[in-house]
Amino acid sequence: MPLILDTTGTDVLADVLDSLRLKGRIFCRCELSAPWALGFASGDFSHFHVIEGGTCWLRLQGKRDAVALEAGELLLVTRGHAYQLSDELATPPIPLAELVGNSPGGLRAMLRHGGGGEVTDLICGAFEFESPHAKPFLTVLPEWIRVKKDERRGNAWLDATIGFLTRETQHPDVGATTITTSLTAVLFVEAIRTWLKEQPPGTAGWLGALRDPSIGAALGLIHEAPDKQWTVPALSAAVGLSRSPFAAKFTALVGQSPMAYLKRWRLQLGAGLLRDEGVALSSAAEQVGYESAAAFSRAFTREFGMSPGRYRRGGAVAEARNGSKPRTARRGRR
């Protein structure tokens, strides 16, 4: 039987999301009858809403423009943004925290609220990036992403994922939490893919750069072998471009130079390795391409504002509080 080789290269988006430790969850289903308006506070989470039935309006705090949403659509509001959902723009919002109180929410949580008029049904959830260094990689995302009905129907993966998610929230069974956690991760990736397809060439930062054959290939090489002693000439030659045009194009599309991106990615991976108590500083430095532990420590401290040792101690405490085991960040596939 012939040997089949995988020549598709490293999935850079998957690599980044894996290193940032993406987690998703459902916090409630909502049955809202007009008039109603919910206020969502800003925070470290990205929220998502599936409009199961009815219609509603989205308005970000401090913005005059609003977006009309209808049944079958998906909304993703990226982290740090306060916003409201309402039946009408004039309806004053009630903070969600006031309505749910100390309830932890979850798959079986149902919020019924409103004045008894026309009903809107929502599935409400959140995405969290457990890595404290997620922000530099996520600044390319817009404040919100809307996936319209026709876009959803044209995306078999997304349509099926929302369908399965709806079924699991309406009729949760044994293992439903595990299933929905996986489905929400797929939902995030598919929403990003859908948004990315709509962006003009040369936009959307490193995400948009993945669509460019040469720069996408260079990013794949960096992620596949972060420990390799890459230089701009080596990367440009590997993707078939001259040095200066490659460096200029990479910087224009990604938003930083090839060496700056390489450094940030190495340190992101190094931070993940330090969360594993079994990985020594010298080993982490070697695995991400630094010639010495001292050089890695200096770069790490400049990037994150603390030494690797302090980061390891703080990371271990955070892991213990969360009740989870330390996790080694992935270096990429060879």
The confidence score (pLDDT) of residue 278 equals 63
Domain of residue 143, CATH code: 2.60.120.280
- Give the model confidence (pLDDT) of 155-214 as tens digits: 888 888 888 888 888 887 888 888 888 888 888 888 888 888 888 777 788 888 888 899
30 membership: H or E segment, kind and range: strand 22-33
- Give the model confidence (pLDDT) of 76-104 as tens digits: 998 778 999 999 999 999 998 888 877 77
Q: Are residues 215 and 157 in the same domain?
A: no
The encoded tokens of residue 159 equal 């349509």
What value does the mean pLDDT take over residues 127-133? 77
Distance separating alpha carbons of residues 72 and 242, to the nearest angstrom: 47
Backbone angles phi, psi at 91, to 5 degrees: -70, 125
The answer to whether residue 2 sits within a structural domain is: no
Domain of residue 241, CATH code: 1.10.10.60
Distance separating alpha carbons of residues 110 and 108, to the nearest angstrom: 6
Q: Are residues 177 and 227 in the same domain?
A: no
Q: Are residues 217 and 194 in the same domain?
A: no
Q: Are residues 241 and 155 in the same domain?
A: no
Integer angstrom CA distances of residue 120 from 24, 78, 115, 187, 297: 23, 22, 12, 21, 53
Q: How many domains does the chain have?
A: 2
Q: Are residues 194 and 50 in the same domain?
A: yes
pTM summary value: 0.74
- In the block, tokens 């080993």 appear at 283
Q: For residue 199, give the nearest of 153, 158, 145, 275 by alpha carbon.
A: 145
What's the pLDDT band for 64 if we cut at 50, 70, 90? confident
The answer to whether residue 65 sits within a structural domain is: yes
Q: For residue 158, give the nearest of 104, 130, 113, 197 by alpha carbon.
A: 197
Q: For residue 300, give the nearest of 282, 322, 278, 326 by alpha carbon.
A: 282
The answer to whether residue 329 sits within a structural domain is: no
Last residue in a domain, options 142, 174, 198: 198
- Give the model confidence (pLDDT) of 229-257 as tens digits: 999 999 999 999 999 999 999 999 998 99
